[in-house]
A = this chain, B = another copy of it.
């Protein structure tokens, strides 16, 4: 497959978003932004053997996962994903046919949310790495920032925590059953796009996606909002299978491994019941895991209440760099 055939094979036959004036095929793409909507732009790079591995992921999985991480960032900004751009650095041992599979993995996820591939660049290098820039639209009046948390808010998280970390643990034990729920959650995480649609009527929700672990994400909210957060360990939602882990490993999976791509945030107490109902209607479970506390003059902190003790939860999320 030559360069021309490669581009033809990844170029969409039509664009789902009517705002795409010009997609792939010129020096750049052109979009016509919807009047009254802001444009959210997120960008993430993943490198082979740092952020993903071909040892236990197919080329399709790799594409799916990199796009999922980006759409998760878009969702964490309260935005509906619209388009994406892909830059790939490909070593020569990867064929164009294999590269097309990476794009097919992305397309599989993109199609389910009507998101369009509108451009990018493919270059030859020595290390396999993928950068995606994703775009979403959001109403300017919606507050979905990390800095939107206020005293008395409920702290919530969607879905269950630690699934991706436990899946990774299973893979490392060479228990590689690719139909295993936890392995799937690690290899093909699902961005919480439906949360955005379900909550579009709510004025204020502070929001972050669980990419680096909730300890890190919660600290970002506390610092940006200049508030303290109190989290109840007993309320943290996780699957019973994780109880086979020792305490250290369990803590790591739940608090700091991340990559679950769930959403963590806060909302006013008055909105909590309705938020739960709206999410339930789209199949998303949200769990009340704690409270926003009165802001202090000290360094904003996250406290974890566990085994009768209140300890400070450091921002110890796993850092790739």
Contact = CB atoms under 8 A, between A and B. Distances in A.
Contact of A125 (B120, B129, B146, B224): B129
Name the prevailing secondary structure of the A interface residues: strand
Nearest to A92: B321
Interface centre among A22, A125, A145 (most CB of B within 10 A): A125
B119 A42 contact: yes
Nearest to A123: B45
A41 to B, nearest CB: 5
B89 A127 contact: yes
Nearest to A35: B35
Interface centre among A46, A126, A145 (most CB of B within 10 A): A126
A51 to B, nearest CB: 7
B26 A30 contact: no
A148 to B, nearest CB: 10
Interface centre among A73, A131, A133, A209 (most CB of B within 10 A): A131
Nearest to A126: B127
Contacts of A26: 77, 145-146, 224
Contact of A31 (B38, B73, B209): B38
Contact of A41 (B40, B119, B209): B119
Contacts of A35: 35
